[in-house]
Amino acid sequence: MTILLAILLSLWRAVRLHISMTHSDAVCAVAWLDAHVCQLRLSSGREIKTRLMPQVFMLPWLVIMHFRSDGGRVHHLVLLPDMLEREVFRRLRVRLMIELNQADV
């Protein structure tokens, strides 16, 4: 029963953080500054400078980006094609492949 409760709490936190974006640490905007340096704006209004980690998950219909702040905290951004304009989503995927030296689309 304890394991089930832990799984449900983890699911609830993940939904708030990555899907509904109601959590104060949810990433709501990204500005790609230089090479792997990005500025994140959180739903709390805070802006933090981070580095894009090379563990980017890309499919034609999904991009998951991981960022690490100077304090070592990791932030994630889940993007689906309908969250951006079609051309912007395509350009993001191309830039990620170029920046991170990934060969496959």
Question: How far apart (Å, rounded) are the C-alpha atoms in residues 26 and 77?
Answer: 8
Check residue 103 and give its pLDDT.
41
Extents of the domains making up the chain: 26-99
- Binned at pLDDT 50, 70 and 90, residue 100 comes out as confident
Decide if pLDDT at 80 tops 50. Answer: yes
The per-residue pLDDT for 20 is: 66
The whole-chain average pLDDT of the chain stands at: 85
The pLDDT score that the predictor gives to residue 41 is 93
Instruction: Tell me the mean pLDDT in the region 42-63.
Output: 91
Q: Model's pTM, two decimal places?
A: 0.76
